[in-house]
Amino acid sequence: MNHKNGKIAQQIIELQKDDGTWGNVFHSLSVPTNRQPMTTEQALRRLKNLGFTIEDAPIRKAVDCMEACLRGERKIDNYWEKTLDWDLYTKLMLSTWIKIFEPKNPIALSFAKRWANIIERAFADGKYNNEAYKDAYHREFYRDAKGKKEIGFETFYVISLLQGLLTKETEDCMLDYMLNYDKGIYYIYQKPINRLPETFESIETSRYLSAIEILSGYHLAKEKLGFVVKWLEENKDENGQWDLGSKAKDNVCFPLSDSWRSIEYRKADCTERIASLIQKL
């Protein structure tokens, strides 16, 4: 179903600034204000879930802006976190979102390959080696660890960025690691991914699906995520539809339709999302 012309999409597009951003803050964990109802990252995530691609003008404008930032021609914002190498983290965030919408973008792909080199070395022995990760991280980015902690790879950004860039052997090990990692994928789902949500009709399931949607972009996803497909099929109703319940509405993944006042619209949105995921798996 086409949601691009819906009320939700149009409201987001109307908030986009001439420079391609949605205001002075990019990062989604930064609290929006009355002057900036949503961050640029929140807008990009929402528009992606509504079906927008690089072919749509708002996304093209945003990607061009992020590219300019990576080239050092402008700054994305003045937000800063002291405990991290924020310059590097900003490059990671921008490269990830550019690659999500434009997988072959040269500047984002070049940065992504550097992260792939780190992960290849971290899993070179067939399992994760944290010391190898730290060594590869500092070699690749020439960073001094003093006063700054390494950026962990178990995040939405790195896991999204690595899609299509790892050898089969490393991808196999990395996916097994992520499925068993006790904190899930940071920013997305904070529980082990190999453990299914206890209640299907819940916002937890929606967040869980977001993690699975990221992992579905890997070559070995069908092999690794068959248990998720089985679980989803078991939770279809008698009409072949899915319903995550009203509490799944988070204004990020849902709703897709302009309103959930009708249960039929809610079921249609849930079914559209889950059917699309199953098709990938």
d(CA 44, CA 280): 22
Residue 208 in any domain: the answer is no
Residue 204 in any domain: the answer is no
**Model pTM?**
0.94
One domain for residues 169 and 250: no
Give the DSSP per-residue string, 54-109.
TTSHHHHHHHHHHHHHHTTSS-S-S---TTS-HHHHHHHHHHHHHHHH-TT-HHHH
Q: Is the preceding peptide bond at 255 cis, omega within 30 degrees of 0?
A: yes
Residue 211 in any domain: the answer is no
One domain for residues 41 and 101: no
One domain for residues 100 and 62: no
One domain for residues 45 and 114: no
One domain for residues 158 and 176: yes
One domain for residues 33 and 63: yes
Where among 36, 60, 79 does a domain terminate? Answer: 79
Where among 46, 79, 112 does a domain terminate? Answer: 79
One domain for residues 98 and 74: no
pLDDT of residue 1: 76
One domain for residues 85 and 178: yes
pLDDT by 10s per residue, the chain, length 281: 789 999 999 999 999 999 999 988 888 766 666 777 889 999 999 999 999 999 999 999 999 999 999 999 999 988 887 778 889 999 999 999 999 999 999 999 999 999 999 999 999 999 999 999 999 999 999 866 556 778 999 999 999 999 999 999 999 999 999 999 999 999 999 999 999 999 999 999 999 999 999 999 999 999 999 999 999 999 999 999 999 999 999 999 999 999 999 999 999 999 999 999 999 99
pLDDT of residue 264: 96
Number of domains in the chain: 3
One domain for residues 177 and 133: yes
One domain for residues 105 and 145: yes
One domain for residues 101 and 182: yes
Which residues form the domain of 166? 81-195
Residue 206 in any domain: the answer is no
pLDDT of residue 118: 98
d(CA 44, CA 179): 26
One domain for residues 125 and 139: yes
Where among 79, 95, 122 does a domain terminate? Answer: 79
pLDDT of residue 35: 74
* Residue 15: both structure tokens together: 């908030």
